[in-house]
Structure 1
């Protein structure tokens, strides 16, 4: 699928017709750049209004196009990210079941949604408001999804981080602990290189340690966790002595209710994440179609307005869509210029008027209206 297109309007002179110009352009493209797809871009007769209104509108066209195009790309990227995370096979995006490139190359104006008798500014403002609403909704939905993801990531970090900081609840069982009126079991985090030192010294760190009570529960790349049982009254003193030897005593108390609550919280967050991801992906599919449809109608209005400002009234121009390869661009530009009104070519190529080629802000000047759209 081509992803980069030119939308172009060529002036139709009084001595010819749009059909004749279309045939001539087809012949030239077929003869000199046969690998360049070429399509008609059908724009209805829109309401022109006054010259002042067109000039005022042209000032907003580029800014609005940047925003609408940006929203389209943002949703597309979100879809790609969600499909990747969900393990969904990425497929070509569609607009009402039509591939996006086909929607562009076979564009049909939606009269019901955008009445042609409406002022151009009203159509443009309506498109901008609609896309802005979708953009705001996207931000809210992404924030909600990312909030749940962040909570899950925080839990996972606790579950998988270093033994010095991670949650120990799934590593320590009730059978590993002694907790009575006089005895208590502490959890020691011992650097792996200090395990021999721990085993040879923990019984003598303080007076009231139960001999041979230390048991290795788990190890990671840096640390091992050991239990040690001693008299309650000696616990604080043992913590101090252990710290002096480079051993960390983790505060830990096993609570079955807390453990069950954490498990339920984790399961709920995972369900919420999956639900929000699925909902967001489906919403993105739908909203991408709405934004893309709005964008193409905006491009039609933009091309119409710029063509009127360039060629004058009454509207008389041929609108086309092309997708030349990078190596064919210069050749296609030359073809487009050759079928345009040659009397204007020199004027539009002068340095003094270099940026007048397209009032929408295209960098290159041409004797015809042209701008580029990127589908991705």
Structure 2
């Protein structure tokens, strides 16, 4: 598929067929590998020239909005596919590839009646795309909320000892809990381990001698136990904090551990379900937005052609896909044309012929 398309509008002086033949001849002189297609859509309701001039001022803003939503959805598809590691699927519009839809465009009379004023057509396109954007925001927010919860749990599982969940590191036999004794867990910086071992017994009174045991060590910290009398636990915490040791609150509970495990499994499943649902929705919505974008492109071609060439409508619109190197030649061969540059996965901009004159 080409990465860049032009939709070109030229005034018809004699007949559309003779002009079409002349365009084909001009294109063939410069490149034989550039496909050329008719961009066919019905005559739309013109209204007054004043209304067209007023509408022309709004077309660029509306176009940027519709284009922007299509890019948001495309980027969301790319993000979902990257996260899941699945192979990218071809984007489609009404079941056909994007480039096929563009080069064989057919105006949807049922959705956008040609007898409706152009302003109503533009407002209808804008409104439909705005609803899709709002739906996208809600769906993405729901998906990101579950991802954030899952990431928070994963950080607790794999983060440093200062923040991670300790339930998988501490065994029931490591903890002494009785009427008078309690075992506390201390997170000690790796460079301070000797200081901990030499000082923990004196951080407060009634600390059980030689009760400290190292349970785990990561890149930054080591996890130690210390057993002492319940009544001096608060004093121990305070003294430990003053020396740079963190006392982590911990209560071993098999029920709580099982509950956390079930919560994690549920979040993983929820994330996968939401990811799959969002990806399917994005594929369908991208096609709908791209279709709206092409109808909007047709409105722009029609409006700009009327303003440029006058009434009654008499112009020929076609689609071509020049290579980057040959664009300059095509500009020279199509002087005086109103040119719309469309890029299915990039930007959509509007330029008039004089702006392209060399």
TM-score of the alignment, normalized to the shorter chain, above 0.5: yes
- Cα separation, 2, equivalents of 1:46 and 1:215: 83
- Residues 104 and 237 of structure 1: CA distance in aligned 2, closer, same or farther (over 3 Å): same
- Cα separation, 2, equivalents of 1:244 and 1:47: 79
Which residue in the other structure is 2:175 paired with?
177
Which residue in the other structure is 2:339 paired with?
370
- Cα separation, 2, equivalents of 1:122 and 1:330: 37
**CA deviation map 1:45-96 (0-9, x unaligned):** 2222222222222121111111111111110000010011111101221112
Q: State whether structure 2 residue 258 is matched by structure 1 residue 289.
A: no
Which residue in the other structure is 2:52 paired with?
54
Which residue in the other structure is 1:208 paired with?
206
Counterpart secondary structure, 1:328: helix
Counterpart secondary structure, 1:228: strand
- CA drift at 1:39: 1.4
Residues 41, 107 of structure 1: 8 Å contact kept:
yes
- Residues 286 and 233 of structure 1: CA distance in aligned 2, closer, same or farther (over 3 Å): same
Which residue in the other structure is 1:109 paired with?
107
- CA drift at 1:207: 4.2
- CA drift at 1:169: 2.2
**CA deviation map 1:280-332 (0-9, x unaligned):** 11110110011011111111111011111111122111101122122111100
* TM-score of the superposed pair, with normalisation by structure 1: 0.87
Superposed counterparts of 1:303-342, under 5 Å: 303-337=301-335
- Cα separation, 2, equivalents of 1:20 and 1:104: 24
- CA drift at 1:198: 2.6
Residues 3, 374 of structure 1: 8 Å contact kept:
yes
- Cα separation, 2, equivalents of 1:120 and 1:241: 76
- Cα separation, 1, equivalents of 2:311 and 2:181: 97
Comparing 131-140 with 29-38, greater Cα deviation is found at 29-38
Residues 36, 320 of structure 2: 8 Å contact kept:
yes
- Cα separation, 2, equivalents of 1:169 and 1:255: 8
The gaps in structure 1 that reach 5 residues or longer are: 338-366
The gaps in structure 2 that reach 5 residues or longer are: 346-358
Name the count of aligned residue pairs.
Answer: 345
- Cα separation, 1, equivalents of 2:69 and 2:232: 64
Residues 152, 266 of structure 1: 8 Å contact kept:
yes
- Cα separation, 1, equivalents of 2:271 and 2:90: 25
- Residues 211 and 298 of structure 1: CA distance in aligned 2, closer, same or farther (over 3 Å): same
Which residue in the other structure is 1:3 paired with?
3
Superposed counterparts of 1:82-161, under 5 Å: 82-161=80-159
Residues 93, 285 of structure 1: 8 Å contact kept:
yes
Which residue in the other structure is 2:63 paired with?
65
- Cα separation, 2, equivalents of 1:223 and 1:121: 66
Counterpart secondary structure, 1:135: helix
